[in-house]
Amino acid sequence: MAKDATVWTPDALARDPHADAEKARKVQAMFAAIARSYDLNNRVHSFFQDQRWRRAAVRAAGIGPGSRVLDCACGTGDLSEAFADAGAAEVTGLDFTPQMLDIARHKATRTSARPGRAGVRYVQGDAMALPFEDGSFDAVSIAFGIRNVAQPERAIAEFRRVLRPGGRLVVLEFADPANPVIRWLGGAYTRHVMPLTATLIARDTSGAYRYLPRSVSTFAQPDDLSRMLAAAGFAGCSWMPLSMGICALHRAERPADPDTLGAARTDARAGTARAQAGSRKDG
């Protein structure tokens, strides 16, 4: 495909982009086209709220000094670097698009030398087939990326697989605000203003900023996404609106496996029995 080729045509966006058989290829080509201006467009068109949303995601993940974190669909690395800044022991950023990772790695050269701060390892990969062992991470995140995955349910199942029991999943995603006035204003902005100005900033011909509002309006809303997480076996699924509901922050946990729980209960009962036997002997 030529560098300046249109990826998302008006005809393609007249239909549900999530049902497009070539969605994965188109998403990768789209992000390759806008990678260099991605951060600038994020700041300008979120009115600099995107960094605040990412800080909220880091807090929701509840990481500690020993935490191992996987940031899926990491893009240019903003959230991955925020986890490292927050004191995580290991941070891995994974993305489908090499051009986005090139920028993330360039950013990392400016931050990796800070004393006491973990560096971020960036790898190319597919969220639907994560190249990691079961139970590898204490926290998994994905910011504004789950709707771009060809099969979100497969990605969610992978997130659960690579989390340790008790590990946290954090998802940031755009949403339609509940307030009808905010919803109307937001819709007018994302459908008419943002596609024009973001396309000009990026000098984009891929259709990326026409895809964005269409992909949000046709994707699962927060309650639906929360149910998807629960159906995949996550526990404690909850979400909260950010910036008047323009963005939703989801949090869920991988519960302890039944076998692990059973073994823990058996050990606890055995320990209690030993303690009681010792008490009788001492008595």
At residue 116 the predicted structure's pLDDT band, cuts being 50, 70 and 90, is confident
In a domain, 223, yes or no: yes
The full DSSP string for 141-202 is EEES-GGGSS-HHHHHHHHHHHEEEEEEEEEEEE---SSHHHHHHHHHIIIIIHHHHHHHHH
Q: CA 31, 162, 70 angle in degrees (round to 5)?
A: 45
User: In what helix (H) or strand (E) does residue 260 lie, and over which residues does it extend?
Assistant: helix 258-282
Other CB atoms within 10 A of residue 243 CB: 17
In a domain, 83, yes or no: yes
In a domain, 246, yes or no: yes
In a domain, 61, yes or no: yes
The pLDDT value given to residue 240: 98
In a domain, 151, yes or no: yes
What pLDDT, in 10s, does the model give residues 24-50? 999 999 999 999 999 999 999 999 999
Indicate whether 4 pLDDT > 70.
no
In a domain, 21, yes or no: yes
What share of the chain in percent tops pLDDT 90?
Answer: 84
At residue 130 the predicted structure's pLDDT band, cuts being 50, 70 and 90, is very high
Q: What is the pTM (predicted TM-score) of this model? A: 0.88
Q: Which two tokens stand for residue 36?
A: 């260099």
Distance linking the first and last C-alpha atoms of the chain: 83
What share of the chain in percent tops pLDDT 70?
Answer: 89
Number of domains in the chain: 1
The pLDDT value given to residue 258: 66
What pLDDT, in 10s, does the model give residues 148-158? 999 999 999 99
Indicate whether 281 pLDDT > 50.
no
What pLDDT, in 10s, does the model give residues 218-269? 999 999 999 999 999 999 999 999 999 999 999 999 998 765 444 334 443 4
In a domain, 213, yes or no: yes
In a domain, 269, yes or no: no
What range does the domain containing 48 cover? 10-258
CATH code where residue 239 lies: 3.40.50.150
